[in-house]
Amino acid sequence: MFVAHLPVQEIFESGKIVPKEYIQPKDGDKLPPLLMNYETIDCSLLSISNHEELAKLRCALITWGCAQIVNHGIPESVLDEVREMSKQFFKLPMEEKQKYSSKGNELEGYGNTNAIQQGSLNWNDKLHLHVYPQQKRQLQFWPQNPHHFRATLEEYSKQNKKILRIILKAMACSLNLKEEEFLELWKDEDKDNLHARFNYYPPCPMYDQVVGLKPHEDGTLITILLQDKQVEGLQILKDNQWFQVPIIPHALIILVGDQMEIISNGIFKSPTHKAIVNPQSDRISLAMLFIPSKDKEIGPIHELINQESPQLYKRFKDYGQYFKQNIPSGKRQIDAVKIHN
C-alpha cells in the first residue's frame, strides 16, 4: 500500500521534532569518516595516447569506484547556474512545488522516495525527471519556475552526454579494449535512458541521527554527479570505512554503476555511498543517471574473461527488474546476477 510522506523540507520548516521514522539505527562504534585522497582526473587529457591519465582513471575507478574530473568542458558559469536554479526550485512556496508532485509511488516528479523505503527514512527531497528518450519525458513534472529551468537542463544534459562518451572511451582504453567497446551500451538517445535527479537536503538539528540518503549503489551504467559548491555530504565506503568526498567546486564526480561493474567483469567497482546531513546548512546535488535500454543484453565483455578472471556475472536484459526486486533484501542488488561457483 502506498503511503505518502510529507516533504522533508516541510517538516524542517515547521519546526517539528524530527519524526522517529527518520532516526537511523545505531551501527556500532564505527570510525569517523576519513577524507578521501586521490588525484583529480584531467578530462581534456583522456586520450588513447595519454597512458598516464588513463592509468589514473583506471586506478581511481578500481580502488574507489569514483573519480573527480576537471577540465571537462562545461563552463563554470553553467555549473553555477544549474546549482542556482536547483536552489531556486526547492525554495519555491510549497504550493508551487506541489504542482510537480510525483503521482502515487512513481519515481518521476517532486517529493521523496520515502514511500518505498525499507526501514528508516531518508532526510531528502528530490525532483526526478526522465530526460531521454525524449518521447518518455513527462513535461508536467518539468518546472516552468525558474523560467529557464527546462532550457538549462536540456543544455546541461547535452554536455553530460559528451562527457559520458569521453569517459566510456577512456575506461575501455584503460583496459586495453577497443575505445568503442563501452560506447555500445549508451549511444542511442531514442532508446537509452538518462534521468536527472535533483536532491535537496534540509539542515537537521539531529544531523548525527539521520541520513540524507542511506547507503546504496547505483543501478546505472555511469552516474555523473554535481556536488554542492560549499557543503560536503557525499561519502564512499571502502574496506568498511567511510570516506568523505571533498568538494572541488567545478569538478564533476564519475560514479561507476552496477551495470558497468557487470560489464567490466568486476574490474570497475560500483561503490556503496551515502549522503549525510549538515546541522546548519542545506545542501543540493544533481545526479545524471545513464541507464542502457532494457532491451540491451548486459554481461561481462568476452575479452575480460579468462582462466585467471572467470566470468563473475550472468548475461541478461533489463537490470532494472533485478535491481527493484532485490531492494527489500538489504543486500547489494548486483548479487542477484552473480554467478556463484
pLDDT tens per residue, range 126-171: 999 999 999 999 999 999 999 999 999 999 999 999 999 999 999 9
Query: How far apart (Å, rounded) are the C-alpha atoms in residues 310 and 74?
Result: 39
Look up residue 159 and give its three cell numbers: 554536455
* Spatial CA neighbour of 201 closest among 2, 3, 7, 4: 7
For each of the domains in the chain, give its residue range(s) and CATH number, in order of start.
38-337 (2.60.120.330)
Average pLDDT in the chain: 91
Between 87-96, 259-268, 302-311, 327-336, the lowest mean confidence (pLDDT) is in 327-336
Would the pTM of this model clear 0.85, i.e. be above it? yes
Give the model's pLDDT for residue 120: 84
* Spatial CA neighbour of 233 closest among 218, 211, 254: 211
Three-class secondary structure of residue 187 per DSSP: coil
Look up residue 305 and give its three cell numbers: 574473461
* Spatial CA neighbour of 233 closest among 277, 263, 287: 277
| Predicted confidence (pLDDT) per residue in 267-311, tens digit | 999 999 999 999 999 999 999 999 999 999 999 999 999 999 999
Amino acid type, 13: E
